[in-house]
Homo-oligomer: A and B are copies of this chain.
Amino acid sequence: MSTLCVPSQVPSVAEDCELLRKAFAGWGTNEGLIISILGHRNAPQRKLIRQVYAETYGEDLLKVLDRNCQVTLSQRVVKLWTLDPAERDAFLANEAIKKWTSSNQLLVPLVSSYRYGGDDVNLTLAKTEAKLLHQKISEKAYSCDDVIRILTTRSKAQINATLNQYKNEFGNDINKNLKADPKDEFLALLRATIKCLVCPEKYFAKVLRLSINKLGTEEGALTRVVATRAEVDMKVIKDLYQKRNSVPLDQAIAKDTHGDYEKMLLTLIGHGPA
């Protein structure tokens, strides 16, 4: 569930564009105004705003944002948010891929395989594949074809069933058995993949916890999770965050960030009037 607050009466796209244009005019950019508009529009609305802005003023809104806003934390989150979700994923993937080294073997099929989306589950298959996974993990053959094939092609429901069987049969969460070497980058990617397949909200709540708890807050992850999940499952992420940290997410963010950056993050996780 989304935390985005869209007002019940949305101004026309032309009005939004005009106000945005004003926010860029004069001395200094009015980031507060930009946030108060874009922070309360959903993906199709933002897409339309970008389109009409380009038609009306002959410039891509993203380029105007890049040019007029200081290269600040708030500029980055506004920019990520203004991108179309698929564009945004591509942008972030492009940034991230430069950092990854040895993990292409799993990343390539993860983004290119066809995965069945239904709820049907084959319990016999789940048992067989749970055994196969356990065998390969015991042999430390983490990157073997079978492991990759199961994680990249089976439906989420089927993988969930397989991992349940794994736990029934071998007494442990599979991720416990994938911690042999805590520094191994490929194992870390396997664990993250499994978490995202089984319960993405819990995974993102943990990324938030780790990014906020760090001395000085790790803004990269904080920005990324808020900008990509606000319109998807941020409501559940917020609940899980509070349950695990005994502090509401908005309070934790308000404590560790400030200015327009804080304002934009809080807007996206559901603060302030729509």
Chain A interface residues toward B at CB < 8 A:
121, 123, 126, 157, 160-161, 164, 243-247
Contacts and interface: CB of A to CB of B under 8 A. Distances in A.
A206 to B, nearest CB: 12
- Quickly give the copy total for this chain: 2
A160 B246 CA distance: 8
Contacts of A121: 246
A202 B269 CA distance: 28
Contacts of A245: 164
A210 to B, nearest CB: 11
A161 B243 CA distance: 8
A196 to B, nearest CB: 16
A27 B146 CA distance: 63
A164 B247 CA distance: 11
A157 to B, nearest CB: 7
B126 A164 contact: no
Nearest to A246: B161
Contacts of A164: 244-246
11 contacts: A121-B246, A123-B246, A123-B247, A126-B246, A157-B246, A160-B243, A160-B246, A161-B246, A164-B244, A164-B245, A164-B246
Contacts of A243: 160
Nearest to A245: B164
Given A121-B246, A161-B246, 9 more contacts: A123-B246, A123-B247, A126-B246, A157-B246, A160-B243, A160-B246, A164-B244, A164-B245, A164-B246
Nearest to A243: B160
A249 to B, nearest CB: 14
A98 to B, nearest CB: 32
Q: Which 4 A/B pairs are nearest by Cβ-Cβ distance?
A: A161-B246, A121-B246, A164-B246, A164-B244
Contacts of A161: 246
A121 B247 CA distance: 9
A6 B244 CA distance: 36
